[in-house]
Amino acid sequence: MKPHKIRIAIYPGSFDPITYGHIDIIKRACFLFDKVIIAVAVNPQKSPLFSQEERVDMIEKSITEFSGVQVDSFHGLLVEYAKEKDATAIIRGLRAVTDFENEMQMALVNRKLDENIVTTFLMTHDKYSYLNSSIVKELISLGGDAKCFVPLHVNKRLIEKLRKQ
């Protein structure tokens, strides 16, 4: 019998900041894969609120309940990063039909670059289908509370960063 190859998936994103919607996708990915690498994308064309190090730290503190999950960061082509990590899949979360068009386009490009890496689409729980990091940041900046959308430590960091500007 052939030995079982560890199934590794990459869950890329900006995670600026991580939300309960992201955590829901991580939880679902853990059922499908032996190892999930949450890969914080470093994109010089974007200006995230939190530094790469802050985002990695917030994610690490948010996923302590999961085994087989690690946090990393990368820049450059996602497919090259996935090959470097010996991953066979890329996880993409979908909230609504509107997400699908852009995600499908990226999945097809990634397949063209390496057909051995499969994109796996996971639907978020319906209670998070409207949630994204931008909404959370806007809510906090306008004096609201996002405890129901992000872990408490993330909510605290958002308040510290957005309300002192």
Q: Are 20 and 128 in contact (CB under 8 A)?
A: yes
Q: Which of 22, 28, 55, 157 is catalytic?
A: 22
DSSP 51-107: -HHHHHHHHHHH-TT-SSEEEEEE-S-HHHHHHHTT--EEEEEE-SHHHHHHHHHHH
Nearest to 10 by CA among 33, 36, 43: 36
Q: Which of 2, 4, 5, 46 is catalytic?
A: 46
Active site residue 22: yes
Q: Which of 28, 133, 137, 157 is catalytic?
A: 133
Active site residue 62: no
Nearest to 162 by CA among 23, 17, 12, 26: 17
Active site residue 141: no
Residue type at position 5? K
Q: Which of 55, 95, 137, 157 is catalytic?
A: 95
Active site residue 83: no
Residue 60, classed as helix, strand or coil, is: helix
| Catalytic residue set | 22, 46, 95, 133
